[in-house]
């Protein structure tokens, strides 16, 4: 399997443009998602990548598969100012302490979601970012993906001005992460469960398309995974984002992978439908004829999720237009989820 991944990576790397001056990025946490970030940043052709993980097996594995620069096993002993950016892809309980070190030292960073497990230290982090004028973002991947960016443009072009919206979907997490019982996902103390995991992505999109989260209610349960995990495997949320009333339904056990969004305004409804992992379509209907006009269609975006995010983050670093989630938005997302979860 490793050889196949490496060959795929080499083929994709070959397809990218190669730049001469590369920015140095340190990727902290070389687990499931850290590995994808290593590949994504290398594929841009604009970064040289170093990695840090407390697990020597993980760092050795990445070193064998990718042309990484330096390998570290203790984050606190690294001179972060040797890097032009740090990517934090450790479990969520490490996010705020690691990001705070970057912020205090004035080093740009990209932080995996969710921002944290609680609000401890979040204000201090946000203030340090502002005070030191640190370029940073949270890695809610979909904001970097063409179909999700297009949907935002089309909502504006068609003047949908949503008043209500529905977000539903899920997939079988056990299939994508067969080690799910052993990783952060199974543990409350590490940010597991679908609310801080997959629902946080949906909340990020609702914030982006509709506005700031306000009041809300949540029901959640562990209906399928049982005691293999300490955390919930499904959630339903009713909430207000901006001026719109929103319904979110998400689970991590359903067999087909689906993601559905519908935005309902006075001039018509816009839908984003992803059935399976290969195709996403955006459709619009402005009357009750039953006909939906296809406005855009996207094929096979998932293999490029992380290279697209890396390019978007590069734009942020270079002061160019980008669509990354700000640290303030990530803090609002977390505060909202913790608040509605407490009521559930
Ligand atoms: N953007 C997405 O779609 C997406 C998808 C999956 C996971 N994530 C997020 O990415 C983060 C990591 O998830 P994962 O699936 O890679 O988990 P993982 O358990 O596979 O990997 C985490 C890695 O961090 C390492 N680590 C732990 N403490 C460390 C420390 N102090 N210093 C350096 N390394 C340390 C672990 O050894 C492990 O290799 C989580 O916050 C998760 O929510 C995001």
Cβ-contact 27, 70 below 8 angstroms? no
Residue 17 Cα to ligand 1 middle (Å): 29
Could you tell me the fold of the domain covering 2-141? Rossmann fold (3.40.50)
- Ligand 1 centroid to Cα of residue 240, in Å, is 30
Q: Tell me if residue 65 falls in helix, strand or coil.
A: helix
How far, rounded to the nearest angstrom, does the alpha carbon of residue 97 sit from its chain's CA centroid? 19
Q: Which atom of ligand 1 is the closest one to the Cα of 184?
A: 19
- Orientation angle between helical segments 32-44 and 56-65, nearest 10 degrees: 30
Distance between start and end Cα atoms, the chain: 41
Domain ranges of the chain: 2-141, 142-300+326-343
Q: What is the 116 CA–ligand 1 centroid distance (Å)?
A: 12
CA–CA gap between residue 162 and residue 262 (Å, rounded): 9
Alpha carbon 112 to its chain centroid, in Å, reads 7
Pocket test for ligand 1, best of 60, 89, 310 (most atoms within 8 A of CB): 89
- Closest CA relative to residue 252, chosen from 228, 223, 272, 277: 223
Pocket test for ligand 1, best of 26, 31, 306 (most atoms within 8 A of CB): 31
Third-level CATH fold of 142-300+326-343: Dihydrodipicolinate Reductase; domain 2 (3.30.360)
90 alpha carbon to ligand 1 midpoint, in Å? Answer: 4
Which of these, 224, 228, 219, lies nearest to 252 by C-alpha position?
A: 224
> Residue-wise pLDDT tens for the chain (344 aa)?
444 555 566 666 655 555 468 999 999 999 999 999 999 999 999 999 999 999 999 999 999 999 999 999 999 999 999 999 999 999 999 999 999 999 999 999 999 999 999 999 999 999 999 999 999 999 999 999 999 999 999 999 999 999 999 999 999 999 999 999 999 999 999 989 999 999 999 999 999 999 999 999 999 999 999 999 999 999 999 999 999 999 999 999 999 999 999 999 999 999 999 988 899 999 999 999 999 999 999 999 999 999 999 999 999 999 999 999 999 999 999 999 999 999 77
Find the residues whose C-beta lies inside 6 A of ligand 1.
Answer: 28-34, 52-55, 58, 75, 89-92, 94, 112-113, 139, 141, 183-184, 191, 197
Torsional sign, CA 104, 105, 108, 112 = negative
- The encoded tokens of residue 338 equal 């913790």
Handedness of CA 127, 128, 131, 133 (dihedral sign): negative
Give the position, in ligand 1's atom list, of the atom nearest the Cα of 177: 15
């Amino acid at each position: 399997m490793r050889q196949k991944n490496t060959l795929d990576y080499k083929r994709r790397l070959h397809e990218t443009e190669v730049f001469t001056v590369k920015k140095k990025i340190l990727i902290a946490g070389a687990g499931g998602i850290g590995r994808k970030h290593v590949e994504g940043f290398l594929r841009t052709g604009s970064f040289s990548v170093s990695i840090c993980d407390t697990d020597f097996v993980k760092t050795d594995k990445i070193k064998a598969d990718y042309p990484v620069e330096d390998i570290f096993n203790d984050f606190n002993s690294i001179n972060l100012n040797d890097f032009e950016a740090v990517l934090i892809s450790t479990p969520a309980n490490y996010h705020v302490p690691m990001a705070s070190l970057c912020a205090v030292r004035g080093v740009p960073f990209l932080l995996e979601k969710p921002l944290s497990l609680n609000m401890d230290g979040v204000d201090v982090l946000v203030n340090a970012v502002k005070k030191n004028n640190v370029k940073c973002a949270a890695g809610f991947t979909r904001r970097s993906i063409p179909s999700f960016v297009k949907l935002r443009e089309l909502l504006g072009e068609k003047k949908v001005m949503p008043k209500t919206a529905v977000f539903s979907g899920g997939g079988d997490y056990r299939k994508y992460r067969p080690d799910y019982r052993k990783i952060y996902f199974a543990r409350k103390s590490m940010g597991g469960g679908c609310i801080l995991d997959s629902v946080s992505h949906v909340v990020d999109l609702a914030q982006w398309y509709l506005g700031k989260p306000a009041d809300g209610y949540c029901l959640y349960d562990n209906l399928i995974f049982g005691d293999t995990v300490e955390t919930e495997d499904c959630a339903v949320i009713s909430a207000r984002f901006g001026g719109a009333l929103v319904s979110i339904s998400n689970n991590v056990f359903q067999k087909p992978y689906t993601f559905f969004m519908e935005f309902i305004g006075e001039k018509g409804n816009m839908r984003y439908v992803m059935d399976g992992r290969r195709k996403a379509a955006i459709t619009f209907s402005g009357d009750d004829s039953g006909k939906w006009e296809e406005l855009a269609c996207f094929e096979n975006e998932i293999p490029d999720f992380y290279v697209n995010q890396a390019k978007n983050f590069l734009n942020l670093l270079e002061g160019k237009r980008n669509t990354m989630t700000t640290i303030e938005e990530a803090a609002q997302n977390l505060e909202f989820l913790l608040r509605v979860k407490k009521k559930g």
